[in-house]
Amino acid sequence: MDRQTLMLELKGLSQVVDADVRDLVYKRHAVSALADEYEPVNPYHDMLDQLETDLIHAIDRSIFENLPREASNVFAAQWNQMSAYEQFQYLEDYVRGASK
């Protein structure tokens, strides 16, 4: 377990990555793969943008629903140090690794 995962786990990562977040991570991965492979007019980019927006909202909601107030503030501060791309990549690695 790397340092970042350890720090996020200590701050409640397993409680934040609930079924809704996990489902959106899988959907984002599938649509991202389609968007990467599809040409010349790519309808998947709009779908990918919407999924990423939904995923950001699901994470924010899950942080504040599943963690106590103080813990949610600490987790959110750590989480928001990463860029959105890093967050998506991290979630995908975490969810796919956790479900293997």
The whole-chain average pLDDT of the chain stands at 90
Q: What is the pLDDT of residue 1?
A: 66
C-alpha angle 59/63/69, rounded to 5°?
A: 160
Q: What is the pLDDT of residue 52?
A: 96
The amino acid occupying position 30 is A
Q: What is the pLDDT of residue 7?
A: 87
- If the chain, 100 residues long, is cut into consecutive pieces of 10 residues, what is the mean pLDDT of each piece? 83 92 95 85 89 96 95 94 93 80
Give dist(CA 40, CA 15) in Å, integer.
Answer: 41
> How much is the pTM?
0.82
C-alpha angle 68/70/71, rounded to 5°?
A: 65
Q: What is the pLDDT of residue 17?
A: 94
Q: What is the pLDDT of residue 100?
A: 47
